[in-house]
Homo-oligomer: A and B are copies of this chain.
Amino acid sequence: MTMHRLNPGPRMSEAVRVGDIVFLAGQIPTTLDADITVQTREVLAEIDAVMAELGGSKADIASVQVWLSDMADFQGMNAVWDSWVDPANPPARATGGVALARPGMRVEMIAVARAPA
């Protein structure tokens, strides 16, 4: 079974495919002083971009772990998520409060997806 790596760097790859499954790196916001609405939009746009680069879309996503630096942002994240999610193809999901890598970072998401054909 061959592996395929998207945008491998010196520390990590953006995504790694093994057979039918693609594992994405944690996707993070670009605007670290923005609120949860903006940061959630940025993270979901990153996921959309990675899925597009893989030749797929959010309909291919199987599961997402959502990490929030402050669970007070749960409703704000959900509001953006709910308007983003493909209602015909919602992923499995879990959300937890986890300290994130940079100050000001409020949300990170780790997705696993079907490898586009």
Contact = CB atoms under 8 A, between A and B. Distances in A.
Interface of A: 1, 3, 5, 8-21, 23-26, 60, 62-63, 65, 67-68, 71, 74, 78, 81-82, 85, 87-101, 108, 110, 112-115, 117
B82 A11 contact: yes
Given A10-B82, A108-B96, A90 B5 contact: yes
A112 B108 CA distance: 19
B20 A18 contact: yes
A6 B37 CA distance: 29
A90 B21 contact: no
B20 A91 contact: no
Contact of A3 (B67, B81, B98, B114): B114
A26 to B, nearest CB: 3
A96 to B, nearest CB: 4
Contacts of A63: 16, 23, 25
A28 B87 CA distance: 22
